[in-house]
Amino acid sequence: MKILIVDTDKILPGPSYSGSSLVRWGLIKGLKNQNVDVGFYSASPGSNEFDKYDGSEIASEIGVNQVWLRQPNPKFSKEESVRKLQGPLDEFRPDVVLALGMESLEFVRNTRYRGKVGIVWVDLEFLPSLYRIYNTFIYGGACKGIIKDLIKTWNRYRKVINIYPKADFIINHAAHHADWHRRTHGKKTLYVPNPVPPLFKENPHKEVSKPARFILLGGLGSVSTTSGLGWFARHVYPLIEPNLINGEIEIHLIGRHTLRAPFVNKMRHLIYRGYVEDLVIEMLKATALLVPTPITIGFRTRILEAFRHGVAVIAHEANAVGMPELKHEHNALVSKKGKDFAGAILRLTNKPIDAITIGNNGFSDFSRQLNSDFVGSKILEFLDKEVL
């Protein structure tokens, strides 16, 4: 089978720790490992370094058979951009096209290609702006952008309703969003986890640090991270602050961008690390990864990061809605109330063997049914049985 992945985002696939780049890499690797002939077309890689056609060196680096990378040109009309995509479609002659997002789907549908086209995404495109409004009201912030966000939310909702029916099938990486698409559009729809490649054949996480070290991870400007930090600051941090002050535990906050001052002022005893290039060392020192995101949006790739490193997870139960594989007392400690979340932190501090056991279970689950190879096999099975 030949599959062409079409992307109009400014992200190149790669084995980095940027979630969007990593899952694109995982999608390619997962399909390649099923002996699929994969091509990759990016309309806007966002760097002049890649402003060229094909090139076996780039194709090899990304891990695909053929790759086309196009620098966005504001002088191009939409018709010209579509014409640029027609060449790779004619040359590669894919059996299936996977369009990453709504813009990519529209690009493909405006070409002469008449094969099967599916849309692949991780959330509902109108939810991020909606939750930004929610965050503003709940955790404070500038209100001047609310009207703009309301308009954006409505426009994105209309686009979802109008554009998704153009797809032959839908793949969504959040279980509840896949269910919504199935009910709303009546299309053949598949849920699979975000495709994250494995790093280790055996669990490398054999012991935890002393004092107990917990990690909060994520882009500090994202809706999922900021909502989680707001909930954590209000409902969890006050309960564990004495343990932070006396040095019994450490909580490291790792992520791009700058944390807003209100969060810093409320959580003075966290260790603010900023962006960290290599997460392997950080993960292997951790007692557990904390995922306090209290909103049911998308899929938490950071949970799979913990699983593939064999690290225990403490998560708000909202994260299990999009990821039903997250199981309390098996591969995670899952809770809804702040006191229970704080209690889980103190439990793993006092009983590190529980952290090791939960981490082992997460690593085992990831190795069997959550990694990119598993995702690739499920996509291929879905295409064979339901689409082609």
Show the domains of the chain with their CATH numbers.
2-196+371-387 (3.40.50.2000), 212-369 (3.40.50.2000)
Provide the pLDDT for residue 56. Answer: 52
Which tokens go with 376?
A: 């690739």
Provide the pLDDT for residue 201. Answer: 94
Provide the pLDDT for residue 20. Answer: 84
Q: What's the average model confidence in pLDDT over 17-41?
A: 89
pLDDT, tens digit, for every residue of 128-175?
A: 877 777 766 665 555 666 788 788 889 999 999 999 999 999 999 999
Under 8 Å between Cβ of 282 and 257: no
What percent of the chain has pLDDT above 90? 61
Ranges 112-116, 120-124, 295-299, most confident: 112-116
Provide the pLDDT for residue 57. Answer: 56
Ranges 198-207, 292-301, 354-363, most confident: 354-363
Collapse the DSSP code of 222 into the 3-class scheme (helix H, G, I; strand E, B; otherwise coil) and give the result.
coil
Residues in Cβ contact with 322 at an 8 Å cutoff, skipping those fewer than 6 apart: 174, 175, 176, 177, 296, 297, 298, 299, 300
Burial of 347 (0-12, 13-18, 19+ CB in 10 A): middle
Angle ∠(230,234,238) on CA atoms, nearest 5:
130
List the alpha helices (DSSP H) in 33-145: 56-62, 78-92, 102-109, 127-139
pLDDT, tens digit, for every residue of 61-106?
A: 666 767 776 655 555 566 777 778 888 899 899 999 999 999 899 9
Provide the pLDDT for residue 18. Answer: 66
- Assign 55 a pLDDT band (cuts: 50, 70, 90): very low
- Assign 46 a pLDDT band (cuts: 50, 70, 90): very low
Which tokens go with 6?
A: 């079409």
* Rounded-to-5 percentages of helix, strand, coil across the chain: 50, 20, 35
Instruction: Give me the half-sphere count of Cα atoms (radius 13 Å) on the Cβ side of residue 272.
Output: 15
Q: Is the pLDDT of residue 47 over 70?
A: no
Alpha-carbon span 21 to 104, nearest angstrom: 16
What spatial distance separates the first Cα and last Cα of the chain, rounded to whole Å?
10
Alpha-carbon span 155 to 122, nearest angstrom: 19
Q: Does residue 304 or residue 150 have the better pLDDT?
A: 304
- Assign 179 a pLDDT band (cuts: 50, 70, 90): very high
Burial of 242 (0-12, 13-18, 19+ CB in 10 A): exposed
Q: Does residue 263 or residue 367 have the better pLDDT?
A: 367
Average confidence score pLDDT of the chain: 88
The CA-atom distances, in angstroms, between 188 and each of 76, 108, 166, 180 are: 34, 19, 12, 12
Which tokens go with 189?
A: 């729809």
Q: Is the pLDDT of residue 308 over 80?
A: yes
Provide the pLDDT for residue 6. Answer: 93
Q: Is the pLDDT of residue 180 over 80?
A: yes
Under 8 Å between Cβ of 292 and 218: no
Owner of token pair 């990119």: 372
Alpha-carbon span 305 to 197, nearest angstrom: 9
pLDDT, tens digit, for every residue of 213-240?
A: 999 998 877 888 888 998 999 999 999 9
Task: Give the Cβ contact number of residue 277 at 10 Å.
Answer: 7
Collapse the DSSP code of 257 into the 3-class scheme (helix H, G, I; strand E, B; otherwise coil) and give the result.
coil
- Assign 52 a pLDDT band (cuts: 50, 70, 90): very low
The dihedral sign for the CA sequence 277, 192, 173, 299: negative
What percent of the chain has pLDDT above 70? 88
Provide the pLDDT for residue 206. Answer: 86
Q: How would you list the strands of the sheet with 312-316, edge to edge?
A: 271-274, 249-254, 212-217, 288-291, 312-316, 333-335
Provide the pLDDT for residue 53. Answer: 41
